[in-house]
Amino acid sequence: MRDKFIIEGRHKLKGEIDIWGSKNASLPIMAASLLNSGDLILDNVPPVKDNLTMAEILRYLGLSVEFLEGDKVHIKGEPKGYRAPYELVSRMRASFELMGPLLAYFGEAEIPYPGGCRIGLRPVDLHIKGFESLGAEITVDKGFVCARAKKGLKGAKIHLDKPSVGATRNIMMAAVLAQGETIIENAACEPEVVDLGNFLKSMGAEIEGLGTSTIYIKGKKELKPIDYYKIIPDRIAAGTFIIAGIMIGKDLVIKNIEPEHLQSLFIKLKEAGVNSLQIRDREVRVKGEKVWKGIEVTTMPYPGFPTDLQPQMMVFLSLAQGTSLIVETVFENRFLHVGELLRLGAKISIDGRTALIQGVEKLKGAPVEATDLRAGAALVLAGLVAEGVTEVLDVDEHIDRGYVALEEKLSALGANIKRVSYEEGKKVSDLSL
């Protein structure tokens, strides 16, 4: 059996929503806890499917991991193995970021090629080149990437061909225990990279340049254990609710956010004619809009417009006046949701990595399938604003990976949405509303 959402659209959202901690920051910080030999509490860790998977992997490697009330995770112990299990790693790409801390701790690591959303090839070559620069020998054996540094890791100058978030973080975690200085050029600047760096610094790592394109790391023989660290808020979840509030909100307050992390979204919304946002220190108030206009959006590494908000933005622009253009430069397959939006009445055409969107007056409910995490969130937004009933299939496979009890939080704000189970293997065309 699988889960789906049944959404009756056009119900206004009103009230307050507290945004949970960042999934994309939690995952590498949980991985980096392999370098913390103490008794650690990580705060603001959402109990989403990906984080539960990471916890399973850490337990397999020998750590004790317990989820507590209030989005806290208790992690203690030291790793006893350096080979991660295929059946768990294959569920998500972020698990490959275990290689950096395992390589730093043991001098060797064996990680299967990772899984995750089907939004592009997302090769791990930049990770591998970085580890090789640090002195590791890389081989591939039966689907496992095996890294060994018989003489220990040594600092190096590493230039990334592109600012990869995963590669930047993985190399950082390995370099903090490497001998000498490591310089990462063309590094990713995302807040989730900065948060990992701050976590490592709290354990005594010497890191400079976080949030810039050049990161400097002076390796140390060991790190000191810490007992507490709090994860930053989830900017993608915040952006999802902000877009929902504009389209179907009455008076919505999105709390526990970092407005600085959302500037690219705010800029694009303003270009579209959105004037209802009231941005405060740690929250945004949205009263909703009746009309907005088409704009051009190009996804880029931070501080550019995030690819993880592109599907949600496409729903928003599907209801804009005039024509919009979205150029996806990060992932080559991140338009899989377009076919599903067409089922709801959107007018979108694709040419390579460019989507041309002709705004329509309204969307109409229909059965649709979530194709990946963010596409699933976008389809939920479409269902909230569509006329009639929308069914979003495979929410347990995709949406649950990054959104915490989404149907409960939306229901509390006034949405008419419920989760039900359905028989696995049924096609959308077989399902009736």
Active site residues: 117
Angle, in degrees to the nearest 10, between helices 310-318 and 373-385 = 20
d(C-alpha 167, C-alpha 128), whole Å: 8
| Token code pair at residue 194 | 């900065």
Please answer whether residues 189 and 160 qualify as being in contact, where contact means their C-beta atoms are separated by less than 8 angstroms: no
Tokens 């991660």 sit on residue:
84
d(C-alpha 371, C-alpha 393), whole Å: 9
What type of residue sits at position 225?
P
| Token code pair at residue 309 | 């908000």
One-letter-per-residue 3-state SS of the chain:
CEEEEEEECCCCEEEEEECCECHHHHHHHHHHHHHCCCEEEEECCCCCHHHHHHHHHHHHCCCEEEEECCCEEEEECCCCCCECCHHHHCCCHHHHHHHHHHHHHHCEEEEECCCCCCCCCCCCHHHHHHHHHCCCEEEEECCEEEEECCCCCECCEEECCCCCHHHHHHHHHHHCCCECEEEEECCCCCHHHHHHHHHHHHCCCEEECCCCCEEEEECCCCCCCCCEEECCECHHHHHHHHHHHHHHEEEEEEECCCHHHHHHHHHHHHHCCCCCCEECCCEEEECCCCCCECCEEEECCCCCECHHHHHHHHHHHHCCECEEEEECCCCCCCCCCHHHHHHCCCEEEEECCEEEEECCCCCECCEEECCCHHHHHHHHHHHHHCECEEEEECCCCCHHHCCCCHHHHHHHCCCEEEEEEECCCCCHHHCCC
The alpha carbon of 311 is separated from its chain's Cα centroid by a whole number of angstroms, namely 13
d(C-alpha 241, C-alpha 221), whole Å: 44
Please answer whether residues 335 and 299 qualify as being in contact, where contact means their C-beta atoms are separated by less than 8 angstroms: no
